Amino acid sequence: MTTAPRHSPSPSTSSYENAPTRAVSVRGEDFAYRELGPEDGVPLILLIHLAGVLDNWDPRIVDGLAARRRVIAFDNRGVGGSSGSTPDTIEAMARDAVLFVRALGFDQVDLLGLSMGGFIAQVIAEQEPRLVRKVILAGTGPAGGPGIDKVPALTIQATLKGALTRQDPKLSLFFTETRGGRRAGRAFLERLKERTHNRDKDISLPSFRAQLKAIKRWGRQAPSDLSNIRQPVLVANGESDRMVPSQNTLDLAARLPGSELVPLYPDAGHGGIFQHHDEFVSRALAFLES
């Protein structure tokens, strides 16, 4: 891992598969990140799902977005290649993400938040209106949204079942049980293996537990006043999300003043943007460039 100085230019990288893993110091801790795409324009910061590390982003989505945008994926505090202790609240994760963005020297960014990353993106957009220009929320929901507090139990159940059946739990958590859903899930898992060198560390058990605690708290909070988020927001999900039930996506779109709703992807679940990556990338780029 290389350490990047403040305001360092982005390396010219052809794909996420070979993007170098770099690090920047954030209040004494090293935050691991990868970036690619053009060096100009407003950067797009990627905020990953529960237990996700750098290698859990679909390379088709990162490469597709980076064809026209500067894209930066990172591990938040204590996760994957980043040092420190993982916070157990979404609000603290959001503060860390803002510190990371500022450590790279940016004064304005766009955000793509997936699942738990979408919770974090909502907090950042509300608390840092000058920092955030546009937001994309995928497979996510508002604080106190129905079913969100059940995500930890669902995840643990799927992880145990996956260990017994030797099947990656993401297949059942992110994709539908239909023939099309299973095929899309297997294709996604193969894409995640494309990077064969300098792969990120898996999340540690203490960090995973901290994230589970944060999600449960988010799911049990009083609903937040989403009308305070004034930035343009694109909202997307599959129509059959069993982790963050799809009604949360519709609720977000209805309550956010500047929202656009991507019609819910058919025969798709929590990983709808992975299953429909071509359509998602096209819609996301059009939104970011409008």
pLDDT of residue 55: 98
Alpha-carbon distance 172 to 215, whole Å?
19
With a CB cutoff of 8 Å and minimum separation 6, the contacts of 211 are 50, 51, 86, 88, 116, 203
What average pLDDT does the structure give for the chain?
94
pLDDT of residue 202: 96
Residue 261 pLDDT > 70, yes or no?
A: yes
pLDDT of residue 1: 65
pLDDT of residue 23: 98
Q: Is 141 or 166 the better-scoring residue by pLDDT?
A: 141
pTM of the predicted model, to two decimals? 0.95
Residue 141 pLDDT > 50, yes or no?
A: yes
Structure confidence at residue 14 as a pLDDT band (50, 70, 90): confident
